Structure 1
Amino acid sequence: MRLLKVATCNLNQWAMDFDCNLNNIKESITRAKQWGAVIRLGPELEITGYGCEDHFLELDTVAHAWECLKDILLGDWTDGILCSFGMPVIRGSERYNCQVLCLNKKIIMIRPKMWLANDSNYRELRWFTAWKHKELVDFQLPSEISPVLLQQTVPFGYGYIQFLDTAVAAEVCEELYTPIPPHAELALNGVEVFLNASGSHHQLRKLDLRLRSFIGATHGRGGVYIYSNHQGCDGGRLYYDGCSCVVLNGDVVAQGSQFSLKDVEVVVAQIDLDAVASLRGSISCFQEQASCNPKVPSVATPYKLCQPFNLRMSLSSPVEVRSCQVSICIVIFHLHIRYHSPEEEIAFGPACWMWDYLRRSGASGFLLPLSGGADSSSVAAIVGCMCQLVVKDIQNGDEQVKADAARIGHYTDGQFPTDSKEFSKRIFYTVFMGSENSSDATRKRAKVLADDIGSWHLDVSIDGVVSSLLSLFQTLTGKRPRYKVDGGSNIENLGLQNIQARIRMVLAFMLASLLPWVHNKTGFYLVLGSSNVDEGLRGYLTKYDCSSADINPIGSISKQDIRRFLRWAATHLGYASLAEIEAAPPTAELEPIRSNYSQLDEVDMGMTYEELSVYGRLRKIFRCGPVSMFKNLCYKWGASLTPSEIGDKVKHFFKYYSINRHKMTVLTPSYHAESYSPEDNRFDLRQFLYNARWPYQFRKIDELVSEVDGEKLALAKLSDEEKLGVTADGGMGVVAAGSDDPNAGL
């Protein structure tokens, strides 16, 4: 037997905070050594933090990374343990995203990333060059590093490390997901251990895809696949969701948490490498392909990593995969592979992201305009979840969380949070900013939820401020606008709604800055936004209203997922009032309530939230313009809607998407959770000035509608026998709407 103990880790790094990052790296090595591991893997670009973005273009960033690596190598951190560190490296005039593999105070090899992540949220080609050569070259170490390490050059490029008893190679993040991943060729060259350092962000329903990739990488060709990831907010909109793991021959044998407040989490596994050799030896085609596969260069390292057979050492066993529909207290201690439900992901992901943002920003808490509606209530519930997580981690002995909570909550004399509602009262303000258009029901729902969570709740009327602004306007113009229900025009109606919305933004920021002073607290509070991804896509928000906040935990979450989360949170977070909030129809409450009229979001928008999610996915994920979206929806909705009705819906969506696109340029930075987010600043790079009439595209839709209607009309004039003949002969092939065919309608 060749026994190998390996360690991987979730690290909560912070972009450009080299002290924080270096301390976390050292702590992870210490823990790995305590467990007896001989390999330690850290996340991609762990020394600098993954989210440095254009700071990677600064020479200082690269220089500081080398300084930190020198600090590690001059100590005893790498003695007896192979460590892989992620950092940027400049070779000549090229900048590379690299894994630096070190052992016994020496750099063994530098592996530059060969395939860069450059879509969705990622822009690595903006900062790095991809290494395209299937070779190893000599790399001249920086002059300030070389003398102290007593090394002039090190191997740089694509290859692996050949030890006396096994072979180890790096495969960096995106490379795993390429059509021909490096691990396939490396396995045929005898590599048994693969190190994947990653910077993978959380997105709803994404974890399963990631785990299946690790399992698939070793199931048919054998091997040990070790994966490390960041965990936390390292300075931007993304939350990196950990889940570091070890996979052996297609079985997960160790896995870290997906959502955690910990800065350092180390996952250890002990495996028998003979299991890899045994599996490969039993696969005839593997041996045949290995015999003729092109050779990959290697670095010979005369060192043994494995230990011989030892009865006192137990092997890591495959871990059961199961979903996790349980309460918060159980989730934290669950030891199986966890597939969190989307509702749990919405609870824990944004909550952990907000905790990092709060503790690192210097703020003393959050302030939320709480309307009693689904969106703001879901944000309040996420803050409540965050407070529960903080108290639970303190109970479990996390000293870092304890210190941060005591500082933020202004505890003195060694006190710290022991109750989530009491902690919430210290760090969370909620404000119901009602007007004459607000209902008693929403005011009551806001108050009950605030009491459930424990926030410091205020009930404020904005009518006086609105009236003052309207009086000023009347003095300037001699006119006073009226609501539509009172005989006013659409322009007057919209203007009156926007005044209320923008006053709430001004009031929220005033309270966030001054309420701590009123309560003799230092610092400031962060204003939370609560517009969802569907409202952003449709532009159903007022520019610079209370959607203009400091951060938005739900800005990339769909309305449908928010409603599912509310139902889940009512039970699992203990906020029973959320069930009533979820059941209420969505309304902005910006127009007067009458016996025969009540403002409703979906009526105002001219489309349902369910339809908006469909439009968003077709527009962004499937890259549909108006015409291709129309064609797709004819197949999807053709059984219940005519082509003309579908065409009208598509035009209506693109009209309002276009005229409201400018709002996305000032959208509050939001937690990223949904792949069709329309945010202009990072995710959705499209212009904001459109011809909202879309003359060419809409004309093409009209032509397609006329064509389909003409074919239907021609088909309707045929006798029943002729209809059967047409379809049997493969003619028009048009099926009458309303049939059982799922593609009916086109």
Structure 2
Amino acid sequence: MESMNFIRVASACPVTRVADIPVNIENIKKCIAEALDQQAKLVVFPELCVTAYTCSDLFLQKQLLDESERGIEALLTYSKGKDILIAVGAPLNTQTSVYNCAYLLFDGRVLGIVPKSYIPNYEEFYEQRWFTSGKDIRNRTINLPFQKEIPFGVDLCFESGAVQFGFEICEDLWSVVPPSSFLSLQGAQIIGNLSASNEVVSKSDYRQSLVSAQSAKCMASYVYAGAGTGESTTDVVFGGELLIAENGNMLQKNKRFQRDNQVVSSLIDLDRLNLQRIKNISFREAATTLPWTARTVSFSFKNNNFGIFDRFIDKHPFVPEDAKQREQRCSEIFNIQATALAKRMQHTGLRKAVIGISGGLDSTLALLVITKTFALLGYSRKDIITITLPGFGTTDRTYQNAISLCKKLETDFREVNIVAACLQHFKDIGHDPDVHDVTYENVQARERTQILMDIANKEGGLVIGTGDLSEMALGWSTYNGDHMSMYAVNCSVPKTLVRYLVNYVAEEETGAEIRSILLDVLDTPVTPELLPKDVRGKIAQKTEDIVGPYELHDFFLYYFVRAAYPPVKIFYLAKKAFADCYDEETIRKWLQIFIRRFFAMQFKRSAIPDGPKVGTVSLSPRGDWRMPSDASRSIWMTEI
């Protein structure tokens, strides 16, 4: 996996002079050189950039058409020995018609010529005056003075190894069914658009939304190159917009209205695009409705180098980096959780909820969800039965936070100390209470769950689970202890996001007194508090000291489940994302532990209670994740 299945693509806008083909060719060459310096494997140029888009009736002049042909030949000569696919726009004169085309050049050859399908002839566009539609051209070849039998048509896919490229031209994207839809269904993961879209107020926003949406619909990368400021301004202005999107995400864009050569590039993740297509049944089914079969034109890149790894890799992929987006995400998730629980409460006919409160993050979030739910249903908070269950490791800080929060929220607060019951159970099973092993810890977790379940039966209530997605991935729960509940509201919320959700509620949905408690909960280390306190009465057991940093595990989880990357690629990305936080050996250590625990603990995930999916990753066996509980992890461990 030398390249980790990344490929760099570029979008370019050369300085253009209308009908001055030698000048245009020189600037196209400069942009190719810049794309090569960035180690791009594809560079897409604007529509008709060899001649300029705004030549109008000059497109009917043989002199212009012949000179354009010579310009293509000059670019072919320049491309020899260069390891880059070049998509350049120029007219094609077939003696009977002129087509607006994308020429695909590689290493001294024209690999193929793709004509524009949809020729706009409305508002400021008059292309049908000069150009013929190519939408019905398939299975054809064409001869040029310098090369014979060149594949010609809209049915062309260009393939090098595992990557396929397809191309369309400007208005094609604006059509109801863009040609790129057909091309992507036949394998093209990267779509190039050679465009000349003029600028009017707000058109850029619409253009960007089109590019982003088409990349999402096609589960592809979309590389868009727009004509620039050198075009004629007789009636319109062109801004030279350059866009690179991937599966709905805008990876790169330039600043419009520049007056020099522009090249932007970005790394494209082929693995991610391929997985989305494999998983999406609708994508596969749509391929059965294709009106024609693409012709594949094969060529070979000399190497897979993509240059500097400059793609942004978020340390916290579950948490939006932008504060406003983060607030919106938290608001939406909080409402999903409350709506889900409200439906379950109404369906069961129960008007009471039972929850164990530890003073930690997860139970705090679950309680806040219950409070929101009861407000939605018009139920009394007095019917929220909150129970703190202090044991051998409970510290004053978490204990006081639990009490304070429950009382401030005006719930039916109760306390059940589990120490005596656990000591009795140790005696019953013959366990030495001085041996602080897994039995010592799990007895406490199961005792707590038993009490919650029994009180729920007695009161006619629903036990609400508090465990989160990260704990589920790692199996960090006691089977039939905190692993079990009657409805689990946090089950698809990762630990890195739990903090932001609690903080969101603290800042947006509570008063000052409750806010101060929540902020202290946020400041408390994550702990199960199952081992005795230290001599100072402080927390002796910190979860992240045992299983590792949750920010790493959430990163691993996202890319293992959501992207289905092999561990070697996850490790590669983690090194890039956490370079300023952890060394390679630390990342490798916790990744190995993540894989070991993820495989070993599937049996717990195979038997979990209902709960709402709130994001892109869920481990519910009834939802996104189905995995045998006894699958071997050996092949996932070999390359780390």
Q: TM-score band, normalised by the shorter chain?
A: 0.3 to 0.5
TM-score (norm 2): 0.47
**Larger gyration radius, structure 1 or structure 2:** 2
